[in-house]
Structure 1
């Protein structure tokens, strides 16, 4: 009988499998499958909720608050790992994401959209929590930055195909939201179901702690995650909403903007991975946060001074590109962590990452109604705070050298 997820296989033995059944290949399969559902949902969302459900800024804020609740509760992954293996949990979560996305178009009301969004969000956030853990367990510290960059590029390529099909077929075939959501979600669910039975259940060499882990020496990583979550909400919730509400972008125009993002990400993400590997996490994050200060300040100027759609579109692409640099936060943690802490800390970090996500979209939704420019000015302040935190990362982080202060504090303590 061939191995399946019912037959655990030590990671060291996986090298004897055909290349397409090895752990690294599974990471690439999942990286390609997830964006088909999630990115399609994102691409259509603003037009769907405005044209079909008549959302305003407050409604979209509440939608994203609901969407982030499962991320805040990602710590529940630790409890689930007591009864189900990480790899299986990740793939089952991916199936839930696909199925929930598939039925989104059939619930064109505020209540219906909130419920379906909650289901898809549980799938997405639990998948992402487990996926991040598996990446750091299955990849060596030396190869992690480069492979993580390649995984980002793979996700962008899969999304590029999905968006390209939307652009080519949306108007030509007069597609409905329900049809596109159903196809995209079905593809993601089908690939995840295939992966459950096609791949063995790989066992990493370091058993994971299956309890809540919150260590003092990880404090900088926790703060970086918190600020990354707050920054992400500004882009996910309001940058795209601005393109539709202020500049009247149609579905194919929003998708076209996303396509530009994807092509840029496919090219730059592997380069960013190599840059992190060569120059270190601190320099990559400093570049990201300095750039974000300028991007968010210029976003605010669009509303305050009436700057045009071309600048908004260019900033949107640059803003999205900076997301790739966030892989430096993952590799920073991999270098400072105890090997057995990766799975539980991934869950804790996802919860921390989503603390701001639970209240920020709804709160800023009300601020948006009064002053959209003020939302982006506030985001520039968040980027400045993140920059200060990034400057505390040492050139060569490791256990015992987690921050620039670690060795000094240890010396004083002695």
Structure 2
């Protein structure tokens, strides 16, 4: 029989069986499958399926549909516990990644992408909720930074293996996908068997929650999702299409990102705790505006591969500061709203993701630089929104307009 224990009771368990240890184990497992898929994706679809910019936009639109439907997690949680759903979703992600290369046609790639995306987005929805429920508010920025670093470490190992062995052993896409996805499945199964079910202090609402006082969080999530699509879909594609990066070269670029993330993610977590969400998000958005404008310069001014690669690394580093969005919500939220709002936020985050990749894929065929200039505009909107965050967010103090309000009405 499954044993349910409270977070307080969990303190008596060996450290490796506590909730934080499970968060770290999941943080290690997910990136192995997801980033193995990502590292090979652009080369795989170009070499095997002859994708162009429009095709890659369609693929990423399909990939983001489950994120748009993440609100469905609320219904599933009526029957399945969050911890169980998170691990089952992790297993689906790994299994779908493992069989990716068996379906090299357009239809096959889109179908497997949809399955892996359901696993990824439902896992991420639940994982974000569990982090905010299991971590104390004062510890959350620092611990989330370390969780990000742990994920980067796992991906670093996977990328080093790809770099070292891809040409040396003449590896195929099938072998790499099978290993990357298989490892994630194995870790998820171990986590199901080794850990008890943890009870959070507050019972979560099992219905959709939309509160007026969370409006700024919703707006920031929407802009984050729209802006992120341009980086995820087109920044890496640019390196392959314009500069002819091979698998081991694009993997080297990802590798540099990982090392930077391992070094700076814990520091960024500390920065959020010390300087607050408003200041750190302001730094992120100003940096992204400059980076996206410079991406456009790569096309208009003919800047070379070194500048493009440097911008790619800086872009990735600035996105790591987005952990401040999680801690901002944790500070303003009713504790019972965390799980349903995580699902709602993921759906809001992916509204633009459903139509942007296809639309921007068509724009890419006309002017790649225009895609990045549009992203700079999105970052500017995010910057203006971030300035509405108060210095000390709390219930009743969600925005600078509510400083004098003791408790906001719904």
Task: Give the TM-score normalised by the residue count of structure 1.
Answer: 0.98
Deviations 1:330-358 (A, max 9, x none): 00000000000000000000000000000
Give 1:412 shift.
12
Question: Partner of 1:16: helix, strand, or coil?
Answer: coil
Identify the residue that residue 19 of structure 1 maps to in structure 2.
15
Does structure 1 residue 112 correspond to structure 2 residue 72? no
Q: What does 1:18-167 correspond to in 2, within 5 Å?
A: 18-167=14-163
Unaligned segments of structure 1, at least 5 residues: none
Give 1:407 shift.
2.8
Unaligned segments of structure 2, at least 5 residues: none
Question: Partner of 2:274: helix, strand, or coil?
Answer: helix
Shift in CA distance, 15/411, structure 1 to aligned 2, threshold 3 Å: closer
Task: Give the TM-score normalised by the residue count of structure 2.
Answer: 0.99
Q: What does 1:162-173 correspond to in 2, within 5 Å?
A: 162-173=158-169
**Cα distance in 2 between the residues matched to 1:297 and 1:179:** 39
Deviations 1:236-279 (A, max 9, x none): 00000000000000000000000000000000000000000001
Q: 1:187 aligns with which of 178, 183, 190?
A: 183
Deviations 1:184-206 (A, max 9, x none): 00000110011001000000010
Question: Partner of 1:52: helix, strand, or coil?
Answer: helix
Q: 2:232 aligns with which of 236, 253, 269?
A: 236
Give 1:11 shift.
1.3
**Cα distance in 1 between the residues matched to 2:6 and 2:274:** 31
Question: Partner of 2:5: helix, strand, or coil?
Answer: strand
Identify the residue that residue 254 of structure 1 maps to in structure 2.
250
Identify the residue that residue 293 of structure 2 maps to in structure 1.
297
Deviations 1:289-340 (A, max 9, x none): 0000000000001111111101000000000011210000000000000000
**Cα distance in 2 between the residues matched to 1:399 and 1:184:** 42
Question: Partner of 2:390: helix, strand, or coil?
Answer: coil
Give 1:411 shift.
10
**Cα distance in 1 between the residues matched to 2:57 and 2:407:** 48
Identify the residue that residue 7 of structure 1 maps to in structure 2.
3
Identify the residue that residue 208 of structure 1 maps to in structure 2.
204
Equivalent pair of 2:213/2:408 in contact (CA under 8 Å): no
After superposition, the CA RMSD in angstroms is: 1.2
Does structure 1 residue 364 correspond to structure 2 residue 369? no
Question: Partner of 1:75: helix, strand, or coil?
Answer: helix
Runs of 4+ in 1 over 4 A off after TM superposition: 408-413
**Cα distance in 2 between the residues matched to 1:367 and 1:412:** 43
**Cα distance in 1 between the residues matched to 2:403 and 2:281:** 22
Give 1:114 shift.
0.2
Q: 2:369 aligns with which of 358, 366, 373?
A: 373
Give 1:408 shift.
4.8
**Cα distance in 1 between the residues matched to 2:279 and 2:405:** 23
**Cα distance in 1 between the residues matched to 2:51 and 2:408:** 57
**Cα distance in 1 between the residues matched to 2:159 and 2:190:** 23
**Cα distance in 2 between the residues matched to 1:367 and 1:57:** 9
Q: 1:323 aligns with which of 319, 332, 337?
A: 319
**Cα distance in 2 between the residues matched to 1:178 and 1:265:** 28
**Cα distance in 2 between the residues matched to 1:411 and 1:189:** 45
**Cα distance in 1 between the residues matched to 2:336 and 2:319:** 27
**Cα distance in 1 between the residues matched to 2:82 and 2:407:** 39
Deviations 1:193-227 (A, max 9, x none): 11001000000010000000000000000000001
**Cα distance in 2 between the residues matched to 1:88 and 1:132:** 14
